Amino acid sequence: MTRNKPNIVMILADELRADGLGCYGNTICRTPNLDRLASQGTLFEQCMVTQPTCTPSRASLLTGCFPSALRSRMVGCVTPDDKRFLPRVLRNAGYTTASIGKIHLVPQKEEWEYIQRTRQADGLFDYYGFQSVDLVNGHGMGCKGPGYSAWLKERMLDAQEQIAPAPAITPGVNTGKIKTQQWNLPADAHAGEYIVEKTEKFLHQAAESETPFFLHVSFNDPHHPFTVPEPYASMYRPEDMPPPLVPVHEDGRATPLQLKTYHGSHTEFGNRQFADRLIGTPPADYTRITEADWRATKAVYYGMISQMDDQIGRLMQTLQTTGLSDNTIVVFVSDHGEYLGDHGFCGKGFHYDSIIRTPLIVQGPGTPAGERITGVTSALDIAPTLLDLAGVPEPEAVQGVSMRPALRKGDESLPRDAALTENDDDFVPMRARTLTTRDWKITMYAGSADGELYDRCQDPDELCNRWHDPEYQTVKQELLARLADHLVCAVDSANGRTQTPTKPVSKFLPRNNQKANKNKETNYDKNHP
């Protein structure tokens, strides 16, 4: 079937770190379907998200704008609607737009109420640009949604009675609000099965239409609590799991916030009533959790990934059998990563690579097969790239830049050589900004003399913070200047203008972007050839 514009399927994982996939170098976790997707498309090795928690990152992925520009700054917020949302832009260009699975642009417990209230004056449904929504929010055995709950009850009349707190797989991890458990329902009752079944139905219907579509397929895994049914629960042995990176410690020059969080006393930094929301890291005395506990957790996490990979395999097969695959762009990405015990933590929040580096695979028309982009990229650029591939003009004030040239010419055509990550949390309270380059990562905390500086070449595991190290002060100052440049360019440029500009408004890009400065040499470059 031929369409003037390509279809787009965005597959979104929840809390998946890049190194959980075989195509990103994992030699234990089996992900044959995603590995195949990577071999048929382009894989971005260093994609950094714009925010390390769910709601802000998801809003950014769907707009190409920084969370601060969207006023979607933290988990628990209600993301303001915006004309820049990708589903809305594509809908206005003639696309059918739909979402199946998790969305989480508002608090999860309230999202279905928001969806029910979403009606335009003409009665047409429009939820951030989606014309239809089949919501499945929540995690583990707590996944819920009107369609999924009815589907589950139809399959198993006593399903709700069976969904009870499962025995802990390892007592040590079940400390505070950290849970590692075995799902006590069969695999075919899992939320991911429902999401794929509904996706297959959508694709079969779309194959009969000449209208291009944008489909947002969002899985709830492998997000904490770590819960998976058999046969995936016992697919991996804890003793085969690699140990986590060592916990934060004073010898590694960890910041006071990192140390307090590790020892479970971080509530003094903010409101104790909301301590469970502290930058996405469940409150616990992490010193009590052993290496064996983390290995058991990682085994379950890998099982969750393999189950999702099987489900994605079914989705990709349906694209083939319906004849849609030749004209469909598939993008696979995650909203953020997961510590899995690295640096001593569970969850997400601090800007380690295990949290802000996520998988990004693009496959379909206009994308070369088997290509690997090794430079630093930003999830900010995904939405404008998809618009570019679809031939749809982007709206004013989209902050990301299309990576389409890099899909044709590789790393040298990337629109940037550094990625900015934000983090705002009213409950800590905290304001943090990170700049990740090929060789360095620097994080500045507002109102604090402490920060983080990691040498990504000599210390890829980010175990030694060089912020206060005298030998690194020159590099630190250079990076702070680059960070300031990125912050100035990250300010929202939408200004409410009513007149049409005489020519397109220029994007504000840091002066150190790769294309503008590929011949420029700095002290930073001299020190890291």
175-196 pLDDT, tens per residue? 656 788 878 888 999 999 999 9
User: For 119-247, where are the alpha helices, taking DSSP H only?
Assistant: 146-155, 159-162, 191-206
d(CA 166, CA 179): 10
The reported pTM is 0.94
pLDDT tens for each residue of 217-230: 999 999 999 999 99
CB atoms within 10 A of CB 28: 14
- Across 143-158, b (16+ Cβ under 10 Å) vs e yields bebeebeebbeeebee
Pairing outcome for strands 7-13 and 213-218: parallel
Distance CA 487, CA 141 (A): 40
pLDDT tens, N- to C-terminus, the chain (529 residues): 345 899 999 999 999 999 999 999 999 999 999 999 999 999 999 999 999 999 999 999 999 999 999 999 998 899 999 999 999 999 999 999 999 999 999 999 999 999 988 865 567 899 999 999 999 999 988 899 999 999 998 888 677 666 666 667 766 666 656 788 878 888 999 999 999 999 999 999 999 999 999 999 999 999 999 999 999 999 999 999 999 999 999 999 999 989 988 988 755 545 555 544 556 788 788 999 999 999 999 999 999 999 999 999 999 999 999 999 999 999 999 999 999 999 999 999 999 999 999 999 999 998 999 999 999 999 999 999 999 999 999 998 999 999 999 999 999 899 999 999 999 988 777 899 999 999 999 999 999 999 999 999 999 999 999 999 999 999 999 999 999 999 999 999 887 777 776 666 678 889 877 554 443 333 333 333 3
CB 361 within 8 A of CB 31: no
Q: Which CATH number fits domain 7-436: 3.40.50.300, 3.40.720.10, 1.10.1200.10, 3.50.50.60?
A: 3.40.720.10
| Residue 373 CA, distance from chain mean position | 18
Listed in sequence order, the residues at least 6 apart from 499 whose beta carbon sits closer than 8 Å to its beta carbon are none
Phi-psi region of 173 (alpha: psi -120 to 50; beta: other; left: phi over 0): alpha
